[in-house]
Amino acid sequence: MEKKKFYITTPIYYPSDKLHIGHTYCTVATDTLARYHRLRGEDVMFLTGTDEHGQKIETKAREAGVTPKEFVDNIVEGDRGVKDLWKLMNISNDRFIRTTDDYHVESVQKIFKKMYDKGDIYKGTYKGKYCTPCESFWTESQLVDGKCPDCGREVQDAEEEAYFFRLSKYADQVRDLLENTDFLQPRSRVHEMVKNFLDPGLEDLCVSRTSFSWGIPVDFDPKHVVYVWVDALSNYITALGYDNDRYHDYDKGWWPGVNIVGKEIVRFHSIIWPAMLMSLGEPVPKHVFGHGWLLLDGGKMSKSKGNVVDPYILAEKFGVDALRFFLMRTFPFGSDGNFSNELLIQTINTDLANDLGNLVSRTTAMVGKYFGGALPAGCRTCAEPQPFDQELRTLAEGLRSVYEEDMDTFAPHKALDEIFKVIQRANKYIDENAPWALAKDMETNGKRLSHVLYNLLEATRICGILLTPFMPESCEKLFAQIGAPAESRTWDAAAEWGALPETAAVTKGENLFPRLDMDKALEELEAAEAAAKKAALPAVEVEPQLTEKVDFDTFCKSDFRAVKVKACDAVKKSEKLLRFTLDDGTGVDRQILSGIHKWYEPEDLVGKTLIAIVNLPPRKMMGLESNGMLISAVHTEHGEECLHLIMVDDSIPAGAKLC
């Protein structure tokens, strides 16, 4: 009988910088689900990868003085890059796609042409708002307080020749898909998509750009490159071999599959993606699941904001499996969750050290102490069973069915809840039976004691099987300690009480999860994070302080004015300089250069109102003229020197005299 096929994907991540704990959360969750389906005996295809085109990559590469391909190669393939991180986190993906892969480029060009030939793509002129960090176009009605509704940053007016996809043509079909099927999960996301995007009326989608070149060329009109979302979304089928000769899996039962994504890109996956597939005449995914964000101090983690947590540091400090477990145990998968190091340490201590680790440690130690490491034959049964024997057995025997329901409905956190009900019941069972008291009279109580310990080993075995998708390496150690052979670790064996051989060799190994000292762990973690930040900083030459004094009267001649940032970009071949084009109220643009790129990305400053001294003599920097100086403040934050531009209320007009 042919195995059931299961296809699951992460989003493909944007390699504008190193990935953070939020990306790790999504990938670990997807890996856990993939491992669960493999445990059930299914033929799994698990895809992850990187989305490598777009204006932001082109800009960052230019700032770094490298080609866009060199820039993404470093982040994807380089030291501690994307692939290194997934290897560290024990991610079991079967395939890794990069949108710069030749076969993907070939497929996307064919997909674009198919939709064009069908009449679903046409040429026009785009006028609207564009968010560079999100690579997203928005209408005025979709903006929130005039800013990008996804990231909250400034948008820019954009007008250029472009191709458009007739998204509006598929509005009714997409609405029916959302409202009348279980395509989009969790269900709470459906109302959001319908209310915010379908009810106001779907507009046709801009699907090409001419203002930058880092993308897949439209082969029949090469001055256009394919808009990033058509390029990116297609990866889920191109990686299976759709319209290319690299792979040949598209028609072999894996598609349609399950797309796991963060909630910020649900719109693209639940509206644009199915409409594209409808245009191509292909099946839509079985499910799109939009998980919540990990929040830090109440706000979304963001590479561009810099408020991110490095998964490398956490995994190296606390262990990969402990971090994987924490991410799946602590945060309901469909909702946002507040991340903190304190919560991580508390979870390790409570669930892994106190509950699971304690159960394994106490049970194996007692088998070793009282029976020399192997229970006697006949320990599976007991002449005088106690009520709590059956309570533990019933709970363990019923675990797989409730676990299965939770995993099938994308609720790994609930599945872990069920496992830990059994673990906690097993720990209570130890106290109820007091094996140490039974051991005082082995002649009278030896059979009862061996039965109690067998029940504990069995409950541990069943929990270990179902914990394997979450903590694969730790569960291997657990099985070795309780002496569970391969045939007792299967999906079928998880529903069978008594699968562990009675005389299995039990070994008291090292503690799976030693208890952590909260204060010490936090102190060490803070030191590791500070060292990592310091190592990432470029070498800085400290210039001597000027000895020439400026008298107060001279200082008072400085002309401080409000200036509005019209444009901002990085100075080529400089790691620190940004070039500002400013409205200073005179009607003539003013150019000022400022060495603040370490602290700010240029796109984050457009539209801001700053303070500048405008009557300084011009000076040349990197061959460019700077006419004035922007005012900033330096302070120390977490032991590191930080700089902040002085920003004023946007209601203050450009050119207003401030001092």
CB 511 within 8 A of CB 357: yes
* pLDDT in the model for residue 133: 76
The whole-angstrom separation of Cα 567 and Cα 649 is 18
The whole-angstrom separation of Cα 124 and Cα 455 is 71
* Tokens describing residue 338: 């507040």
pTM here is 0.80
How many helices (H) and strands (E) are present in the chain, helices listed first?
23, 24
Residue 562 is given by DSSP the state E
The whole-angstrom separation of Cα 56 and Cα 601 is 11
Which is nearest to 226 in space by CA: 96, 55, 49, 16?
55
CB 16 within 8 A of CB 60: yes
- DSSP lists the bridge partners of residue 158 as 128
Residue 263 is given by DSSP the state G
- What pLDDT, in 10s, does the model give residues 498-541? 999 999 999 998 999 999 999 999 999 989 888 887 776 544 44
* pLDDT in the model for residue 541: 41
* pLDDT in the model for residue 358: 96
CB 269 within 8 A of CB 259: yes
Which is nearest to 49 in space by CA: 5, 8, 9?
9
In order, the DSSP letters of 80-119 are TSHHHHHHHTT---SEEEETTSHHHHHHHHHHHHHHHHTT
CA triple 67-70-72, angle to 5 deg:
110
The whole-angstrom separation of Cα 497 and Cα 207 is 57
* pLDDT in the model for residue 517: 94
Radius of gyration over every alpha carbon of the chain, rounded to an integer in angstroms: 30
CB 76 within 8 A of CB 182: no
* pLDDT in the model for residue 21: 92
* Tokens describing residue 16: 């504008």
Give me the sign of the Cα torsion angle 472, 476, 477, 481: positive
SS3 label, residue 589: coil
Residues of the chain with pLDDT under 70: 135, 297-308, 536-550, 634-642, 659
- DSSP lists the bridge partners of residue 295 as 300, 338
* pLDDT in the model for residue 547: 56
